[in-house]
Chains A and B, each alone.
Chain A
């Protein structure tokens, strides 16, 4: 077989994961906020829907994405008509699949950290004249930040490892949708691909390890007792 472009694969994986986490972050935070602080009908349902990708077979998630974002799907057609954009067989589709799979982990970590913020501190800030927005910016968010970072890092690591939903939704196209796990899978299918598999696997381990170390360092720098691990 031809030696695959290892650094191209790594770059693509990082790009897909970074875009997935970046795009997902505001939504994940909003969902975490709603689940932690909100009081509304259907909260249990929303909670379940957010967690669905965690318990569904990833192939099913990928197939649902295909139904929604494929050329015949409602979301796919809307994107095509309004933005002239398609996610099928594109790296952006891989990012979407990664984002959907990472969402529950991100929401979970952020929700826990929002719930851990002491409401009495927010009350104290309000008696000192702070508006709701200022309380959020100067008390709630800084205190919840370690959890937000932890969620982002978890989501990033999960995105790097995303396989089932991605291969179902956007297939396994070298240079476009073939991220690290998909490249490893392909290399395993080829006789004599063990050397490539080993290289890609080592890179995977190192990347995941680096993500965890970075998050731990950030957590330590930010605050005292906030550990991700």
Chain B
């Protein structure tokens, strides 16, 4: 139904949703890269600054006499203004001599590196070590906690923003996709309606001038052209049928009067009666043709009311039972629970009658025709099934066209209009007519939507 919420899986498949996710994903990756660049540049700048300070301190201490170093180092450790600088002096044999950096030997000599002894010992340090002329190891360290904190904050920002942005992106994707999906859904429904033969239906145009409107406009123009052509063909056919009916009826009437002339020879009367029978057949076909046109053209709802379909089928079986019996065809109908449909009872009876009549005609001698009425939550289906020759798959739709009877029906009398009449009646009710192979035979189904169970 238009206005219903589309399924989540449908939304997920839409181009709009995918495009929104792709754009959102690209924007997120861009933001990540930007943050990474900012962090890298900031980290490098802070490290450069630390390294400059470390080198200056190392140069200052290395310039002092070796004997003064322990005292100067202890003094520097104690008097570091920022509290960020730390010092250490190890003997050439690795023995601790002075400073506040602990007794760990340096990992690298001559290049700054980072060491973290844990929060209980000392924070992360950037350390530069150098060997004095006497072979002792001189170490200067700088607390780089601000850089580490910055890194942690960056990761925190990324995780939190990710947690926030991801659902936001999904929500935006759903929200943006919903409108177009509903429009596509409406277009699809109309397309199905047109496909089922209602050429008067038109695709809805929202007036936004977007690609969906352009598409709908193009399809509407196309369907308009198809409808015009079909109408022209039909009206020519109908005009021929209509215009020929009156003169043919007059010819029949003249023949009828002639047949009653007492001077007419009996042999001539027989010939006239044969001609009248042929004319009656032609007139019946014209009448059926015009009837289909009337049904197709009208939106008549005057005869619509809620009817018991099971009772209608009882009546159809009662009407056609003797015919089936005469042809030695078993007509099976087990009855059904009460099923109500909002329909034109007389027309639906005519449609059922046509299907049963057809099935009896095509069932072989000793064969069977079964009638079923099935009710589901979504639909009501009336099925007439025979075990005759059936219709080849490629001709199943063709037989619904006027005069098309299929190859297996050449030996069976009939105008070829029965199924077309059924199709027109079914179409008028907005029901569906399905012809399916029964292997062997044909299964003709009239399917009414569940809404048809309530009066409209």
The answer to whether A and B belong to the same complex is no
